Structure 1
């Protein structure tokens, strides 16, 4: 009976690891898709800004022409009804394009402003003086990297009391941002895991991720915002050739980011509006 329970638990852990890895891979692909869209949108925006500058200069010249013509009643006859109508249409088109450009700029800068606010909140809540906790931004995404010695005992996936204090501060920031997702990545060194019911470092990394997620959930974080992911020893910070380097590689990384789908839809909508306006 005991062997059957151990076998069943191991199977469940393997299934959990596979699902978490799939979710992580999907999120990574979605993030890359969004980054590509951002790059395309930036190129489009720069082109539109150049068009806007030329259009504004043309508008200024036209407005000066209208002012000069209105000062001289004799010259008003030169300005035909058709010419005046074309000028009005040009001015209206420029105003519409300016509005679309402004909305696209808002879409592109919204994520950066939100990211800055999150980093500021995290550094205030978690603190930046602890060498075992790093908070930084890579490609517009906020990362919190916590050394394993703060989170777990060696070879264990039980969260320590000190870790719960740090995670309580992280939870406070995440709870204030209901439109954010929080992905917890477990990382190990390359020493094979050979104790307990877990099979390998894949199991250990995912199990540590889910342990932290349960703590965050107990602290009031909406489980719908949480994603469990394990990277085992395949994304090291440094070579696993010394005890010190292996300690650096044993870490948990918490990725805090706006929900990709919401941001993707926002930029896509503004890109379509801008493209329609240039046809």
Structure 2
């Protein structure tokens, strides 16, 4: 471009020496017009170059944004796939949870039914004992303790002081107890002897109140067996003076503590094992 301008100037110098002033003036005006056009073209070229650079930069930016959008789109597609899988797995987990809850509800219902049945058996047993034995004597009590039915017999009703020989009246009461036990072959009878805290010092084979309480229990167990109760239904136990009802501080209180309890127990070993097994199973889930 500079070469053209220099060539034009040189030509004007040559021509100015060969042409008239008028022609020179015309050529000079033409040269100025050409220069103006050149300047305009140069400005436009620079502007186009600037626009091209800006367009290239925008293109590069748009290409980068397009690449990011494609990457995000792929990530979104993968995420959607994962979410679909998670949703399906979640549905399966919910279904399993519902099944587990149904099983637990069924087990709890069975346990509640069993407990209700046990309560019904307890009430029926209390009714049967009260009907058979009666409650006219203050020395005879029929109660329920922790869902267990028992008959509490006063010491003076069964034995003489310090003795383990059963009185004739005791045989009458034990005959009624035997009738109830014999009518329920799935029941057991545990005889539990209690004494006051007065030391046993009568000598012989008995050493202390432990011995006396157990010996009284075995005497009653033998009496019940003689009355027809199967021996496998009978249990003998003694508590000595270690479980008093009231303080052993008066003669009246000591008389209250000298007692024999006969627990009437359904053979519920399997029942308790079932409940224990169900509870352990529920706690693990």
Alignment TM-score, normalising by the size of structure 1 = 0.62
Instruction: Summarize the alignment of residues 37-186 of structure 1 with structure 2, pairs less than 5 Å apart.
Output: 99-186=106-193
Answer 1 or 2: higher relative contact order, Cα 8 Å, separation at least 6.
1
Which structure: larger Rg?
2
Q: Supply the distance in 1 between the matched residues of 2:240 and 2:100 (Cα, whole angstroms).
A: 56
2:229 aligns with one of 197, 221, 240: 221
Q: Supply the distance in 2 between the matched residues of 1:256 and 1:127 (Cα, whole angstroms).
A: 16
Q: Give the 3-state SS of the residue equivalent to 1:232 in structure 2.
A: coil
Residue 100 of structure 1: how far off its partner (Å): 3.6
Q: Supply the distance in 2 between the matched residues of 1:238 and 1:90 (Cα, whole angstroms).
A: 53
Q: Supply the distance in 2 between the matched residues of 1:96 and 1:238 (Cα, whole angstroms).
A: 48
Instruction: Summarize the alignment of residues 196-275 of structure 1 with structure 2, pairs less than 5 Å apart.
Output: 196-197=203-204, 198-271=206-279
Residue 261 of structure 1: how far off its partner (Å): 1.8
Q: CA distance change for structure 1 residues 96 and 232 in 2, over 3 Å: closer, same or farther? A: closer
Q: Which runs of 4+ in 1 moved over 6 A?
A: 88-95
Q: Give the 3-state SS of the residue equivalent to 1:119 in structure 2.
A: helix
Figure out how many residues of one structure are paired with residues of the other and give that number: 194
The answer as to whether partners of 1:171 and 1:221 remain within 8 angstroms in 2 is yes
Q: CA distance change for structure 1 residues 185 and 92 in 2, over 3 Å: closer, same or farther? A: closer
CA RMSD of aligned residues (A): 2.6
Q: Supply the distance in 2 between the matched residues of 1:201 and 1:157 (Cα, whole angstroms).
A: 11
Q: CA distance change for structure 1 residues 145 and 92 in 2, over 3 Å: closer, same or farther? A: same
